[in-house]
Each structure stands twice: as C-alpha cells, then as structure tokens.
Amino acid sequence: MKMKNRILSTFLLIGFCAAQSFAQRTIKEEYKLKFDDVLNLIADQYVEHPDYDKLVDEAIIGLVMELDPHSEYMTAEEYKAMNEPLTGNFEGIGVQFNIIKDTIAVVSPISGGPSERLGIRSGDKIVVIEDTVVAGIGITNRDVISKLRGDKGTKVRVKIYRRGVKDLIDYTIERDKIPIFSLDASYMLTENIGYVKLNRFAQTTMQEFYEALDELQPQGMEHLVLDLRGNSGGYLNTAIQLSDEFLGDDQLVVYTEGVSNPKRDHFATKQGRFEKGKLVVLIDEGSASASEIVSGAVQDHDRGLIVGRRSFGKGLVQRPFKLRDGSTLKLTTARYYTPAGRCIQRTYEGGNDEYRKENQRRRDNGEFFSLDSLEFDEEQKYTTDNKRVVYGGGGILPDIFVPLDTSENSEFLRELLSNGLFYQYINEYVDANRDELNSKYPNYEAFEKGFELDDAFVNEFLDFALHELHHEKSNEDEEDADAAKKQEEFEKTMKEGLATSGNIIRTRLRALLARTLWQTEAFYRVFNANDDAVAKAIEAIEDKTFKKLKLSYN
C-alpha cells in the first residue's frame, strides 16, 4: 500500500511539473503568436515595405529596456567593440590620439605596436589617410577609429606633419594586434607601500597584476594600495581571481543566484600572492561590478580597509547570448552577493533614465561631500567576520570617507579642461623641446628630481590659453572696443581662476608632461602626490587604524 502511495505521489509530482512546464510554455507561445500577428499584419497591410531589420531590432531594444538597466541588445559590431577592452587587444595601427584644432594629434604610440616600430611619435599630426585630407573637416573620434582600425595584416597609408620637417612624411602602416592594458600604474608610494591602479577587469588583468607584484615586492613592498576608482568592472572570474590573491584558502569570495540560476558559491582556492600585509582598496562612485566584488570580499572578511566614496552599486550578473544573425543579447541572469550576504545593487524601480542620473542625485544630495546625507536601511544591515556593521542595497560604503574636493574648481579651469588646452599645450611643448627634455630627463626619476615647473612655464601656458580662448569666442567682425572689452573680461576670469585653481593647474601640467614622456604611470605618480585618498591610505597603513578595526594583515 505504501509503495502504491509513493508511486502515485511520484506520478502526481511529475504530472504537476509537466503541467507547470506546459503552462509556462503556453504563456510564452501566446506572446510569440501575438508578436507574429503584428509582424504578419505589417507585412500584409502596411502602406509600404518597412525595414524589417530595423523594425525587429528596435522592438528587441524596447523589450530589453523594460527589464533592468544592464540587460542590453547589441549588434555584432557593437558587441565586438564593447568586448575589445576586456579581451585585452584590438587590431589597428597602435596610437593614442586626441583631436586638437580639428587635427588628429598623436599623444603617444603604443609600445610595441606598428606605429612605434615605424618611428611615429608623440606630437605627430595625421593629416591625410588614404589620400583623403582629414584635418580641418570636423573629424570625430568615431571617424578616426573607423579609418585607422582594421584587421591584422591589412595596411593603411597616412601622411604626417612633424614639426621641423618641411614636407609631410608618408607611412604605410600594417595593422596588428594592439594590447589594451588594464593596469595603469604600479610603483612604490613609500619605502614599503606599493601602489597598483586597475582600470578594468579583463582577460589580461591577472598577468599584469602578477608582473606588478614581481616588480614591487623585490623593492621592499610590505603593504599595498589597490586603486579601483573609476573602474567600472569587467569579468566576474577576474574579480574572483584577484580577490583570491588577498584571501585565505576556502574563504567565500562571492555567490551568485537568480530565478533560473541556482546559488553558486565562489571560494578562494589557493595560496595568494598578497595574503599578508596591510591592504587598502580605493573606491569611488565610478567603481562598479567587479570592483565591488573585490571591495566587498575584502571588507566582509576584514582583510583590508576601504577608502574613498560609496561605489556605484551594480550587483547584477550579465551573460551574453548569441542570436542567429550574429547579434548578442546581454541578459541579466543572476544577482551577486558579498560573503556577508549583501546584494549591493541599487534600486532601478524609477526606470533606466532615473537610474543613470544617480551620480547627479548623489552630488545634489551632498553625498559626495559628507556621509551625513545618507539614510541607512536597517533591513540591509550585515556584519563582517569581526562583527563590524556594513550595509547592502546600494554600493559599498568605505570604512574611511574621502569627500570630493571642489575647493580648487573655477570657471577658468573648466574652460581649460573643456577646450582640451592642457593636452594641446603640452603636446606642442614636448614637440618643440623633445631632444632637450630627453637629454635632461632620461627617466621619470630624473624628471621628478630635476624638473621645475616655474612661473615662466605657467605664464607661457596662460598666454597660450588666453589666446586660444579669446580666439575661440571672439567674432572677427567685432569692433576693436568690443574685442578689447572681451580681452579684459578673459584676463579677469583668468586671474580669478588662477587664484583658485593655480595648484591644480600646475599639477595637471606637470602630470601631462610626464605622461607624454613616459606613458600613463607617470601621470599617476605626479597626481597621487597631491591626492587626498592616497594620503589617507598611507596614513591608515602607518598609524593604528588596522589594529583599531581588527583588520587581518599578519
């Protein structure tokens, strides 16, 4: 009798599951049929022949927009472009560029790329591509990329203007794979504190990180500042691997879960390269996704100190699904949770438009300047391994808050930045003085010790900026009196701006000069010397903060 009851129960369960599956399938079939009806009516009754590719694409885009802010439909080309920074390379000629005065200016050739091998250098101006003049025609960044990128092995002909050379220089560049680095800088902040800045979590990130450790640890690095500010994320597995380098064996890094995706735990699995030593992670409102996984794991296990401002708040996991025409549906399939159980995804109930205005809302509410503006949800309260209180529901809150410093902002500084005048001036300065600079400062260390950004340098820049801004805004038909008045107003704005922003103007000039000579790391070495968050990190490592918070570092 019991056996019959068990068999009957089993059949009933199977029948219920089958019925439920059939019901779900039926619901989906109903919606498919409805969509088919609409397409058929358009095909049979519409006044003209529509563009079906566009019609279906727009329908899918509209459908996906109703899901969440991070699900996305992309064409094959859009998906490839999105994925390039994460796969660690693209195919092209290998230059960093800016558009200055409507001309493509080479900021620097990428090390080891085809342009560098041919001798193209920073300051060069690309004025002709494949017999077409590209200077003075309103060219955009998108235009430059479409003309210069291409498949490995293909060639593109360019003509370059170089200061001091009478004629344009002809180059035929054979495109190649160009590396995209996810590590911007790694160097020693003090005798025993190392610094590493990551801009994304890509396929190459861990190899780059290991190479950084291989350089820093022999220099005496005992403690580490990991800068994830502005890092919008990348691959989940890379975030797990990086966290693994800081956490002990079998410690939970993150877990993921969704309606159609059962809970999956991810643990630290091996001996990490930096399990001992004080660790500080820098975050801000631009730190998202994979950055928040690392920050959350470090914070929840009391492995290190989080310094900066509240992170972005993206706790959704996307998986790409290829469609039959080569397009891709990047679909949110799960939420991720920190070891303490926090989902740090902020609300998107107000719709995608409101979601994307979050940073402005935070600024307006005063959160960038003080945490007092935040109201903590007691239902989102969690505790770390050492029973410190942390919160979920909207980003990672730092252990030490660093407000956004706007005290040096001015109208004049905004004008300089928005018109690209720092880049323009430094490019022209280096182009005109390259041999002398290379001779006097063969490396960054020599530059750091010997280069003095004196008043004469700043005044030359200001004269240049004043001329450019006045020329940009003046009307050639103005009367002389009006032009003189404009000039006087500009000079007043400059004087006031210099009083407020003089220090940051000097710092940016020095940092960009260093970057033009020695790549991106040199920029951060200059800028970090005056960075409040970096200063707080060093202070916390050197005082008793780690002991006070009972953080693990031995």
**Could you tell me if 517 and 447 are in contact, meaning their C-beta atoms sit under 8 angstroms apart?**
yes
- Candidate list 300, 302, 399, 431, residue with the active-site label: 300
**Could you tell me if 95 and 110 are in contact, meaning their C-beta atoms sit under 8 angstroms apart?**
yes
**What's the rounded Cα separation, in Å, for the pair 235 and 232?**
11
- Candidate list 147, 314, 431, 536, residue with the active-site label: 314
| Residue appearing with tokens 């079906």 | 52
Cα 398–401–404 angle (5° rounding)? 120
The residue count of the chain comes to 554
**What's the rounded Cα separation, in Å, for the pair 202 and 237?**
9
- Our answer to whether residue 300 is catalytic in this structure is yes
**β 400-401/305-308 pair status:** parallel
**What's the rounded Cα separation, in Å, for the pair 194 and 221?**
6
The two structure tokens encoding residue 508: 């940016």
Find how far residue 54's CA is from the centre of its chain.
Answer: 31
- Candidate list 289, 291, 327, 501, residue with the active-site label: 289
**What's the rounded Cα separation, in Å, for the pair 291 and 297?**
10
- Our answer to whether residue 289 is catalytic in this structure is yes
The two structure tokens encoding residue 381: 């309260």
What number of H helices and E strands is found in the chain? Answer: 17, 21
**Could you tell me if 182 and 198 are in contact, meaning their C-beta atoms sit under 8 angstroms apart?**
yes
Of the candidates 24, 107, 71, 46, which has an alpha carbon nearest to the alpha carbon of residue 430?
107
| Residue appearing with tokens 């990190």 | 537
Of the candidates 360, 204, 300, 203, which has an alpha carbon nearest to the alpha carbon of residue 552?
300
Provide CB contacts within 8 A for 226, sequence distance 6+.
196, 198, 279, 280, 281, 282, 294
Residues serving a catalytic function are 289, 300, 314
